[in-house]
Structure 1
Amino acid sequence: MYTGSDLGDLLALGVKPAGAALGVIAKQVAYPDLLTGIEDIGDVEANLEKVISLEPDLILMDSGGTYYKESDYDALKKIAPTVTYDRLPTFKRLLVMGDILGKKQEAEKWINDFKGKVTGLKGKIGVKDGETASVFIRLGKEFYVMGNSGFATILYDTLGYTPTPKVKQTLIDKNLRFNDVSNEVLPEFAGDYLFILMDDNEAARAAADSFTQELVFKSIKAVANKHAFYIPTKWNFDDPVTKERLLDELPKLMK
């Protein structure tokens, strides 16, 4: 049984849990094809009966999740042995999962294979030393700037782009995953390459199209250089499955 938002951690190790908290992520992830056969346990606190009915041998609980409390842990451990884990960077988190599930070799193999694929991707994209990149995410009418989390980890940790000084000082150094900023100051956060995460629906596209006509957007250097790319929000996860699939998609998305 798995309660976190990084279900791809388990799937990358060849483990499909009997149940997972799919209510939030099922329509957002880049791997809906892998969710078949996994029961949605919803909000754990409200669906303990569902958890009990699945008779889990082990429950994995994301202690970094914003919607889980100590009382949830106390309730879950009465059903089955419950192990909590911290919200770590992808590789470290995968190794922890490998230790917990007896899949350490699988975790190490995935990491080594992934690093090999990254070398080829850098060549395709042509990342140069010192080039900066930024990630904006549009939620409704508001823009947020991403720190080193989700999709941004591929840019900074994997491909070697450098965060802009404003992103580093305002978000990364303060360990902020994202922060909302007014449209007027967005150019201050934008790097040589700009990636804009947005939902793939008509309302989101209309909002994006409207913003592209504003002078503040046109003043961004990456926009003028045609280095601004729209990315579906399904790629804003840092689990192994999403990362691996993103390696194949990123060259296409950057066209």
Structure 2
Amino acid sequence: MKTWQRLSSTGIISIMLLAGCGVEETAVEKDSAQQSKDAVEEQAQFPITVTDALNKEVTVEKAPERIISLIPSNTEILFGLGLNEQIIGVSDNDNYPEEAQTKEKVGGMEFNLEQLIALQPDLVVAHESGLYSFNEEGIAQLESVGIPVYVVKNTTTFEETYTTIEQIGQLTGKTAEATEMIASIQKGIQDIEVKVADLEEKSVFIVVGTEPDLYAAGQETFINEMLEVLNVENAVQELGWPMYSSEQFVDSNPDEVIVTYENDYESIVNNSAYNEMDAIKNGNVHVVDGDTTSRQGPRIVEGIESLGEAIYPDVFKE
């Protein structure tokens, strides 16, 4: 800019424009026109009203500049949409991406309403599963001082997750980025389905907790859909997240046992009650990343690949 100012002050800029800088000027004009177009398109999206998981209409007047996320899956979506600069607060449990560590922590099991209000967000993205620590009364308090709170559905399918990504994209003025994120996930899933199409089917038991009781991932859960992509049988036929006795676990006798937390691995392999299970005898107990296999966000493909590496190591470690 200083160079142009110096040229202008000596009158040289006029000569340059007359001497053949029309192409550069046209490029500048095109860039300016594109920026104006983008600004108009962004402005046209607002105000926007979206119905959340509580069947509550949430209206955002303009593209939010100060966003607080109350659960890691939401945070990953927001960062994936390119909203690093706009995110001002995240939960204590946020650990991805690395930039999330630099944001102000606003609570984990409980959230401080005074802190949230003091941060002056123009959008808070909450989660249906977190309402035990952030109830509808708290939401009403935030909304009473003009802070919109969008409660994301606790999704159990990929399609529901795509809808969540679309809605967060709408609320933040990032609809194109949301569409691109969904397309990338879908392409990754299609590639995995091709990779496993001709593999021999295995039965898999997913352990999601062992202290004090053993809990499993059953049918109609997010992780079950990941298993379906891999074309493997979920040894847990019950819905949701059932508790299993030692006897039930042994009787299920899957080809593979997968745990989502390191501590659970020791609890499984060191328990003499499980010694006769095929998976134990054959050394087929594996640990996978509990974050990517449970968070309903942009790392779905990474979660499926984590499971794939445990079940079909020769195929997924190529």
TM-score class normalised by the smaller sequence:
0.7 to 0.9
Q: Is 2:269–2:280's contact at 8 Å kept on the other side of the alignment?
A: no
Give the whole-Å Cα distance in 1 for the aligned partners of 2:249 and 2:110: 39
Say if 2:248 is the partner of 1:181: no
Q: Which has the higher contact order (CA 8 A, sep 6+)?
A: 1
The one-letter code matched in structure 1 to 2:89 is G
| Structure 1 residue 87: Cα displacement | 1.8
Cα distance in 2, alignment partners of residues 108 and 230 from structure 1:
32
Correspondence 1:19 to 2:89: yes
Alignment of 1:77 onto 2:143: yes
2:213 aligned with 1:154? no
Partner of 2:106 in structure 1?
A: 41
* Cα shift at 1:116: 2.0
- Of the candidates 98, 120, 124, which is equivalent to residue 191 of structure 2? 120
**How far apart, in 1, do the equivalents of 2:293 and 2:117 lie?**
31
- Find the residue that maps to 1:233 and give its secondary structure: coil
CA distance in 1, matches of 2:277, 2:120: 54
How far apart, CA to CA, are the structure 2 residues paired with 1:232 and 1:248? 10
Query: Does the CA contact (< 8 Å) of 2:110 and 2:133 recur in 1?
Result: no
The one-character-per-residue Cα deviations of 1:124-162 (angstroms, maximum 9, x if unpaired) are 566647644331123334311112435444223x33433
TM-fit CA distance, 1:42: 0.8
Alignment partner of 1:194: what SS? strand
Q: How far apart are residue 85 of structure 1 and its match?
A: 3.0
| Partner AA of 1:72 in structure 2 | G
Rounded Cα–Cα distance in structure 2 between residues aligned with 1:56 and 1:226: 50
Between the aligned partners of 2:248 and 2:299, the Cα distance in structure 1 is 31
2:205 counterpart residue number: 134
Shift of 1:205: 5.1
Q: Whole-Å Cα distance in 1 between the matches of residues 140 and 167 of structure 2?
A: 22
Taking structure 1 as the reference length, what is the TM-score of the superposition? 0.75
Q: Where does structure 1 lack aligned partners over 5 or more consecutive residues? A: none
Deviation of 1:194 (Å): 2.8
CA deviation after TM superposition for structure 1 residue 118, in Å: 2.6
C-alpha separation between the residues in 1 aligned to 2:288 and 2:198?
A: 18
Taking a change above 3 Å as real, the CA distance of residues 187 and 113 of structure 1, as seen in their structure-2 partners, is same
Q: Tell me, in whole angstroms, the C-alpha distance in 2 between the residues paired with 1:190 and 1:12.
A: 39
**Equivalent residue for 2:127, pick from 54, 59, 62:** 62
Classify the secondary structure of the residue corresponding to 1:234. Answer: coil
In 2, Cα distance between equivalents of 1:242 and 1:8: 8
Instruction: Mark the structure with the bigger radius of gyration.
Output: 2
Instruction: Give aligned pairs, total.
Output: 235
Q: State the identity as a percent.
A: 17
Please give the alpha-carbon distance, in whole angstroms, between the structure 2 residues aligned to 1:187 and 1:125: 27
TM-score by length of 2: 0.62
Kept after mapping to 1: 8 A contact 2:117/2:142: no
Which residue in the other structure is 2:9 paired with? Answer: none
Matched with 1:103 is 174
1:8 to partner: Cα distance: 1.8
CA distance in structure 2 between the partners assigned to 1:251 and 1:102 by the alignment: 35
**C-alpha contact (below 8 Å) 1:141/1:207 kept by paired residues:** no
Say yes or no: does 1:87 pair with 2:147.
no
Q: Which residue of 2 aligns with 1:199?
A: 262
Q: Secondary structure at the match of 1:71?
A: helix
User: For residue 243 of structure 2, what is the amino acid of its counterpart?
Assistant: D
Q: Distance in 2 between matches of 1:217 and 1:179?
A: 18
CA distance, structure 2, for counterparts of residue 144 and residue 192 of structure 1 = 18
